[in-house]
Every structure is written in structure tokens, then in C-alpha cells.
């Protein structure tokens, strides 16, 4: 049995994100393409004496007592029936919270991966889905991407329907952080208001998402339900998106429920040039792929 393990928890961006009205259970169905990028958190998981306890700390972020990591630990124990060793998790946080990049969900999935290794087990797809369903909708995608540095998928349902598609290594991406915290709860409330006003956006047909994804980015027509209401609420997000557009991006949008915005460029030099231009306007940003 392993006593200590390090896991990399990668971020994702959304290429389009259609949000449907809330379901009876409170969740929203979505349609999107999720695409892994190389910005990542790191989890250092150590086995401690005793059983049934998960302690989490980070020098980079203040975490509530109940967080996605503690939830994932409890779900792992409940679903597998394993009386897990007590663990301590040190979280090195590089993915901004409230950024729409799935950081908390990726952290949770990576902890499940570490627990598999620590206990010498391999969970079934059904077990992973049960864990994901009790932690967060994005966790499904990150469980599917286990062991992959490059992974993309068409995602639907509340997030539990994940269909892998070819990863495009020709995309050069710049992530821009407006330094606005956008809670998922607030973002969905804003989208629900938009849907109630019947000001529906025009989205690509679901069955055409993968076909569009294969086109040159300059031809993409992906639409994110969150972009318009979040830009209207937060001027910094709108300004960041404007800066990306001016930098020569072939495609630009906000990721997930925000507040991170991104641009897709045709070459590494174009992305590096855009990074400098966007930084000169006072925004924090990184190059990714």
C-alpha cells in the first residue's frame, strides 16, 4: 500500500455551453465540449494513522471544512465500502477558484484517483459515476479523463454523459483571469433569469458540436449561456474578453460559469504575442494547450 502520492489535477475549458432551464431536482442539463488544458493543481496525499478521516490544507486558498476533497473522500468510502485509511491532503492551488475551469471538480476526481492507488483498487465506471454524482457535475468528465494529459469530450445531461472525441493538439490557448469571483450559484441564477425572460440565444445543434469542433477555430460558432449575463454583471469580464478579441484570437469566449475568458490562436508565436498584448492591458494571463 502506498503511503504518499502526488496527483496533477488539470483544468478544462468549455467550447460552447448551452444551459437548459432547471430540472425538477434542481440540476440543469447542459450541452458542451469540455477540453483539458495543462494548467493544473497538485495534490500531495499522505496516509496518516487511523481510519476515516480526511484533512485538507492549502497555503494558496482558504477552504471550508466541507469541500470537494472531503466530499470525494466520503463518497469514495461510501460507494466502495472501504474503511479508508486516514489521509492528509496538501493542495497546491494554481487553477483560480470561481474561474469556470473546473478546478474543484478536478481536485475531487484526482483525489479519487489517489485513493484508488493507495488502496490498490480500480473502481468501475458505475462506482466513479456514483461518486461524481454526489460531489459535482463536472467531476464526471474528470473521472473519464483519468490518466490522460490530452482529453476532450462532448458532454450532456447534467454532466454525466461524456463522449470522448479526438483531442486537437493544434490549438494554442491563452487563459485570462479578470480577478472576479463568480460563484456557480450566482451564475446559474443569472442564466435562469435570462431563460425566464425568453431572451434565448441561438446555439449550434447538439449533434453538430463535434463537427464544428473539427473546423478551423475562426469558423466556430460556439455559444456559452453564461457569457452575456456575466459580462453584463461584471465589467472586468467584459473588458478581459474585449482584450482577447483585440489580441487577434481566432475564437474567444468565457469558460464555464466564469470568470476566466480565453482565446484560441493558430500558432505558438501568435499566442505568445497575444499574451504580451493582454498583459500590457493589466490582465493576469497564462498560455496553455
Residue 12 known to be catalytic: yes
Residue 221 known to be catalytic: no
Rounded to 5 degrees, what are φ and ψ at 154?
-85, 125
SS3 126: helix
Alpha helices (H) in the chain, listed in sequence order: 68-80, 103-119, 125-135, 139-144, 184-196, 209-213, 227-233, 235-246, 268-280
Catalytic residue among 12, 18, 93, 238: 12
Convert 12-30 to b/e letters by CB count within 10 Å (16 or more is b): bbbbbbbbeeeeeeebbbb
Distance, in Å, from the CA atom of 75 to the CA atom of 105, rounded to the nearest integer, reads 13
57 bridge partner residues: 90
Catalytic residue among 41, 138, 253, 270: 138
Catalytic residues: 12, 138
Amino acid at each position: 500500500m502506498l503511503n504518499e502520492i502526488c496527483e496533477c489535477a488539470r483544468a478544462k475549458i468549455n467550447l460552447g455551453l448551452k444551459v437548459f432551464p432547471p430540472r425538477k431536482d434542481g440540476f440543469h442539463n447542459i450541452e458542451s465540449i469540455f477540453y483539458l488544458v495543462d494548467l493544473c493543481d497538485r495534490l500531495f496525499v499522505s496516509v496518516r494513522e487511523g481510519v476515516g478521516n480526511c484533512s485538507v490544507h492549502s497555503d494558496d486558498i482558504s477552504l471550508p471544512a466541507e469541500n470537494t476533497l472531503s466530499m470525494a473522500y466520503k463518497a469514495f468510502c461510501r460507494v466502495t465500502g472501504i474503511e479508508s485509511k486516514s489521509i492528509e491532503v496538501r493542495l497546491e492551488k494554481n487553477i483560480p477558484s470561481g474561474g469556470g475551469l473546473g478546478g474543484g471538480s478536478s481536485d475531487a476526481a484526482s483525489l479519487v484517483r489517489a485513493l484508488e492507488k493507495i488502496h490498490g483498487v480500480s473502481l468501475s465506471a458505475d462506482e466513479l459515476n456514483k461518486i461524481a454524482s454526489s460531489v459535482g457535475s463536472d467531476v464526471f468528465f474528470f473521472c473519464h479523463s483519468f490518466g490522460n494529459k490530452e482529453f476532450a469530450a462532448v458532454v450532456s445531461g447534467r454532466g454525466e454523459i461524456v463522449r470522448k472525441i479526438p483531442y486537437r493538439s493544434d490549438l494554442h490557448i491563452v487563459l485570462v483571469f479578470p480577478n472576479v469571483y463568480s460563484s456557480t450559484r450566482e451564475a446559474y441564477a443569472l442564466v435562469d433569469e435570462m431563460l425566464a425572460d425568453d431572451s434565448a440565444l441561438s446555439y449550434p445543434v447538439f449533434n453538430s458540436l463535434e463537427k464544428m469542433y473539427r473546423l478551423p477555430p475562426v469558423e466556430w460558432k460556439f455559444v456559452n449561456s453564461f457569457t452575456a449575463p456575466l459580462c453584463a454583471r461584471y465589467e472586468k469580464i467584459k473588458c478581459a474578453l474585449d482584450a482577447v478579441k483585440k489580441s487577434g484570437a481566432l475564437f474567444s469566449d468565457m469558460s464555464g460559469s466564469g470568470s476566466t475568458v480565453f482565446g484560441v490562436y493558430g500558432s505558438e508565436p501568435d499566442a505568445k504575442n497575444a499574451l504580451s498584448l493582454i498583459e500590457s492591458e493589466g490582465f493576469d494571463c497564462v498560455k496553455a494547450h
